[in-house]
Amino acid sequence: MAVGRPLRPLLHGDPLKSEPLEPGLDLGHDFARPELLAEALTHRSALDRQPDLKAAFPNGNERLEFLGDRVLSLAMADLLLRRFPHEREGDLARRYSALVQAATLVEIAEAIGLGAVLNLGDSERHSGTVQPTILADAMEAVLGALFLDAGFAVAATTIERLWGERLSASLAAPRDAKTALQEWAQARRLPLPSYREVDREGPPHAPVFVVDVSIKGQEPGRGRAGSKREAERLAAAALLERLGTS
């Protein structure tokens, strides 16, 4: 798909001048429009003390994150269909969930050095580290920027390269933690797992959901993440680990 001027409104105000891609960010792509990379690396928390950034990107990298999530979804679905032509939909769905989950995005972001080049406010850097939810969101924003700069083919090729080892790491399709926990309960004729949001931490623009999952006769498992869905998955994984089935 060719990317032309109709998609330019993702940028706000005059494009910022940007230096070439940082040596530590291993994307394998030189941006023809470096202002897209600047937007992708700008977290909303950085805007209050930087008026120029706020004028150019009043939403930080959130719009590119929205786009990058969809780019990753389509690219990953296509990759899985081509790599596993004989697998059933359910197995493909489990692979897909494992490959696009926040934890995997964080691993990719750390591998390419994304955290070191993010533009963050002081409140979002804790002891020199970046919150996992911010890293995962920024990884999606970078993919959105790649799509706008060079098109879907380049973005998909980059995804295949960055995720390559994970795509073929296991011959067996992984089970989603929530599915595995449900199957564990059903095998013992127990009621289905119950998920409950018990807290919401962090600032309003970057909430962290705290979710407990309960099964009759067991202590709850707990998960924390930037989305309820991911927090539920982490809670299920924590309970499975305690049960000795992870």
- Asked whether 35 and 11 are in contact (CB, 8 A), the reply is yes
The residue from 35, 39, 124, 140 that is catalytic is: 140
Query: Any idea what the Cα angle at residue 79 is, between residues 140 and 165, rounded to 5°?
Result: 75
> From residue 5, how far is each of 53, 57, 115, 148, 150 by CA, in Å?
22, 18, 30, 10, 13
Q: How far are the Cα atoms of 53, 82, 177, 212 from residue 245, in angstroms, in the given order? A: 48, 31, 10, 18
Q: Does 69 participate in catalysis according to the annotation?
A: yes
Q: Kindly tell me the burial class for residue 8, based on how many C-beta atoms sit within 10 Å of its own C-beta (0-12, 13-18, 19 or more).
A: exposed
Residue 210's beta-bridge partner residues?
199, 224
Do the Cβ atoms of 16 and 47 come closer than 8 Å? no
β 125-126/221-225 pair status? unpaired
Here the tokens at position 227 are 């989305």
140 is catalytic: yes
Q: Which of 35, 62, 65, 69 is catalytic?
A: 69
Distance CA 128, CA 144 (A): 26
How many CB atoms are located within 10 Å of the residue 124 CB? 18
Least Cα distance to 193 among 210, 162, 175, 217 occurs for 217
Q: Catalytic site residues?
A: 69, 140
